[in-house]
Amino acid sequence: MSISDVPGARTSRGEIEEKLLGTSPADGVADPVRRERLLVPRQRNSLGFAERTPAWQRTYVLKVVAVDALAAAFAAFVGFFARFNTSPANLETTSGRAVVACAVLLPVLWVVAMGALRTYEPRFLGVGSEEFHRVLTAALAFVALVGTTSWAFDLEIARGYVVVAFPIATLLTLIGRYALRQQLHAQRTRGEAGQTVVAVGHRAAVAGMARQLHRASYHGMRIVGACVPGGRGSAAEDAELDELGIPIIGSFDEVRHAVTSVDADVVLVTASPELDGPGLRRLGWELEATRADLLVAPALTEVIGPRVAIRPVCGLPLLHVERPELTGVRRLAKTTVDRVAAGTALVVLSPLLLVLALVIKFDSRGPVFFKQQRVGKDGKTFPMFKFRSMVTDAEKLLIDLRDATDGNGVLFKMKVDPRITRVGRVLRRYSIDELPQLINVLRGEMSLVGPRPPLQKEVDEYGYDMRRRLLVKPGLTGLWQINGRSDLDWDESVRLDVRYVENWSFTFDFMILWKTAGAVLRGRGAY
**What pLDDT, on the 0 to 100 scale, is given for residue 52?**
63
**What pLDDT, on the 0 to 100 scale, is given for residue 378?**
92
**Residue 475 · residue 509 · CB < 8 Å:** no
Q: Cα dist. 515→184, 216, 466 in Å?
A: 16, 15, 24
**Residue 367 · residue 388 · CB < 8 Å:** yes
- Residue ranges of alpha helices (H) inside 23-158 are 32-38, 55-84, 94-116, 130-152
CA distance 439 to 418: 28
* Structural domain boundaries in the chain: 55-189, 194-299, 329-522
CA distance 499 to 469: 9
CA distance 266 to 366: 57
Of 310, 204, 196, the residue nearest 258 (C-alpha): 196
List of E strands, 209-323: 221-227, 248-250, 266-269, 293-296, 308-313, 316-321
Q: Quote the crossing angle between the two packed helices 329-363 and 422-429, to the nearest 10°.
A: 160
**What pLDDT, on the 0 to 100 scale, is given for residue 397?**
65
**What pLDDT, on the 0 to 100 scale, is given for residue 403?**
58
**What pLDDT, on the 0 to 100 scale, is given for residue 527?**
54
**What pLDDT, on the 0 to 100 scale, is given for residue 44?**
52
Residue type, 142: F
Residue type, 19: K
**Residue 330 · residue 309 · CB < 8 Å:** no
Please list the rounded mean pLDDT of every run of 10 residues in the chain (527 residues): 39 39 41 41 52 83 97 87 62 55 82 95 89 95 86 70 87 96 93 93 94 88 95 92 95 93 94 83 89 86 74 78 81 94 97 95 91 94 94 70 57 71 90 95 96 90 88 93 78 87 89 88 68
Q: What are all long-range contacts of 330-339, with beta carbons under 8 Å and residues at least 24 apart?
A: 330/506, 333/506, 334/447, 334/506, 334/509, 335/444, 335/447, 337/448, 338/441, 338/447, 338/448, 339/441, 339/442, 339/444
Q: What percent of the chain is helix, strand and coil (3-state, nearest 5)?
A: 55, 10, 35
Residues 6+ away with beta carbon under 8 Å from 24:
18
**Residue 208 · residue 241 · CB < 8 Å:** no
Domain topology for 194-299: Rossmann fold (3.40.50)
Concatenated DSSP letters of 109-120: HHHHHHHHTTTT
Residues 6+ away with beta carbon under 8 Å from 514:
none
